[in-house]
Structure 1
Amino acid sequence: MKFNRLDLNLLVALDALLTHQSISRAAERLNLTPSALSSALSRLREYFDDELLVQVGRKMEPTPRAQGLHDAVRDVLVRIDSTIAIQPQFDPASTDRTFRIFVSDYSQMVVIPHLLTLAAEQRCSARFEFLPQVSNPQRSLERGEADLLIIPRGFMSPDHPEELLYEEGFLCTVWQNSELAKGELTYDRYLASGHIVMQPPGGAGESFETWFIKRYGVARKVAITTYSFTALPMLVQGTEYIATVHARLARLFASTFPLALKAPPIPIEHMQQAVQWHRYRTQDPGLAWLRQLLKQAVLRMDDEDARRASTVDGMTRQVT
């Protein structure tokens, strides 16, 4: 198919070339030979009257014209994929789709297991690919590299639809045999203690430390940093450190490991965890099914957490 003398198949090649900036890697992604992709690049260069990719040392770098084209080309391909290529109906038991979901390790622990259980109950044949927490998740959505984002509302793009899944509070986790487990966790004890904190990798978003300093004008004594939310409650064991953790995650770990949970001595706003999808894919029946399944998963998560809370609260009272 051609448009203004341009073979539209070449746009797929151009997107792969600009994404990978390598003929061999782009060819591998498209299941083509490097010579076939080199030929496509030559045709693209002729059409745009621009080199598009130039060799600089051992790597290829895009020209200014190519940089300007990349987002526009990706937008066209996402639009085509979401309107023309998408199937009008979705059957979870016969689909061969892969759902790519941007999600933190925290969400993978508390809500995703319920999502997968529900999918299994429907004999869903889809493949799920959970993508790691990175900076600018909105760009992954824009470029069609992720089907859904499950992240706090403050990190979402204003250009795409989103829906609240649930709200999350915070609890302080301490080792059950520590001095911190005894008595009230006051503001002074909290500030005087060492803290284990999660620092987003690669500068992916604002850390809790940044929020804390902005809100209270003081810094906690950070003893340990980790890139993982789920590591926080584990790392306090055998120490006199504190980890301030998502409440559902804290209760999940405290039901199995020797942890005591304390209410934070400072008011911490609840996090609003939401799901976001590309505006072109609102009518996608597969994503509509997946979003509905997420809502059901949240209900199951909350039922399980409510049962766990009563048990964990009793254990904490025995410690203190």
Structure 2
Amino acid sequence: MRCGAAWIKQIASIMAIDHIDLSRVDLNLLVALDALLAERSVTRAAARIGIGQSAMSSALGRLRTLFDDELLTRAPEGMRPTPRALALAEPLRIVLRQVQVLVRRDEAFDPRTVARTFTISLPDSTEVLLGTRLLAYLRQEAPGVSLLLRSVDRAHVLQEIDADRLDLAIDLSFRGQMHHKQRLLYRDSYVCLFNAALVGLTPPISLDDYLRFPHVLTSLRETAHGVVDDALARIGRSRTLAVTSPRFLAVPFLVRSAPVLTTMHARLAHLFAETLGLTVSPTPVPLDDVAVGMLWHASYDDDPAHRWLRDLLRRLASEAPATR
């Protein structure tokens, strides 16, 4: 028992805050460092936190002395962070966000009075499914909240999140790191969509009919291959592709105008079918359901406005029309 008490005392002494040592540090320097690491430019970092360029240059000099490291060095593309700076970036973001939450904790969050712009990366399919309902809700319940919606850039989405240029990313799958948070938004299945008047088919369609007509494929990877092609290959079959497009919104208009088929997420397909007079059928080849999720930086996990937006999106997704 004494051994356990001694161990706890030792740990407490290690974790204790050295107030005298900490008081020698200007914590505003950490804010400047976060801006410098995000912008990789003295000028842009200064504008980001509302100070002059000379003041930011002075802050960078003091930071170099504090950490005994260059932190950022000149490079052809701008300023390049040193390995020490890169190691500091994520812990620094998390600490600053926690401080911000701490000083705001006593402020009651009210979506009706908050003024904030959220930058969200998402595919146009999710924008169609949730965007209209989200906008209607915000205009009525949170008129000070605005949205900056951007297309999904899967190659750079994590870097955009880390650089604080994205509040939230919505996509089919993510491979985040320890400082990223993820949450399921909704699940969906696949169905086949077509113009019955042009193809002469009625649901449920057979595999032979499914393969008799050319297909329209939506691919964000800009490759003429999708989950349907993988499923067909497993049973020794293949299909003919007429068009491959990265835009979900163009597909139903292509399908309406020609004797072709497309396979897409069920919620979106039913919406298009009702709007454009198209027909939905189960796919004659088994396809796994898809999971659409949200990803954000851990430093925003306890931010009241950010948490409110995530909860709102999940609620709107759960209330959206499900697969019939």
Aligned to 1:199: 219
Matches within 5 A, 1:19-98: 19-57=38-76, 59-85=78-104, 88-98=107-117
Alignment: residue pair count: 301
Q: Residues of 2 paired with 1:87 and 1:157: CA distance?
A: 32
3-state DSSP of counterpart to 1:133: coil
| Alignment TM-score, normalising by the size of structure 1 | 0.75
Aligned to 1:243: 262
| 2:170 pairs with 1:155 | no
Q: Residues of 2 paired with 1:43 and 1:258: CA distance?
A: 66
Among 125, 135, 143, the alignment partner of 1:116 is 135
Counterpart amino acid of 1:172? Answer: C
| 2:28 pairs with 1:9 | yes
Aligned to 1:315: none
Offset from partner CA, 1:84-127 (integer Å, 9 cap, x none): 34563111221113334443221211123222223333254222
Aligned to 1:103: 122
Matches within 5 A, 1:304-319: none
Counterpart amino acid of 2:214? Answer: G
Counterpart amino acid of 2:255? Answer: V
Larger Rg: 2
Runs of 5+ in structure 1 lacking a partner?
Answer: 310-320
C-alpha change, 1:258 and 1:210, in structure 2 (3 Å) is closer
- Identity fraction in percent: 32
Q: Residues of 2 paired with 1:175 and 1:138: CA distance?
A: 39
Q: Residues of 2 paired with 1:84 and 1:219: CA distance?
A: 60
Among 213, 220, 232, the alignment partner of 2:230 is 213
Among 175, 183, 187, the alignment partner of 1:167 is 187
Q: Residues of 2 paired with 1:60 and 1:107: CA distance?
A: 36
Aligned to 1:230: 249
Counterpart amino acid of 2:43? Answer: S
How far has the Cα of 1:147 moved from its partner? Answer: 4.4
C-alpha change, 1:222 and 1:293, in structure 2 (3 Å) is same
Matches within 5 A, 1:266-305: 266-275=285-294, 284-298=303-317, 300-302=319-321
Which sits farther off after the overlay, 56-65 or 2-11? 2-11
C-alpha change, 1:161 and 1:15, in structure 2 (3 Å) is closer
Runs of 5+ in structure 2 lacking a partner?
Answer: 1-18
Equivalent pair of 2:185/2:317 in contact (CA under 8 Å)? yes
Counterpart amino acid of 1:53? Answer: L
Q: Residues of 1 paired with 2:105 and 2:245: CA distance?
A: 40
How far has the Cα of 1:69 moved from its partner? Answer: 1.9
How far has the Cα of 1:257 moved from its partner? Answer: 2.4
Which sits farther off after the overlay, 236-245 or 33-42? 236-245
Q: Residues of 1 paired with 2:54 and 2:225: CA distance?
A: 50
- Measured on the aligned residues, the alpha-carbon RMSD in Å equals 3.6
How far has the Cα of 1:82 moved from its partner? Answer: 3.3
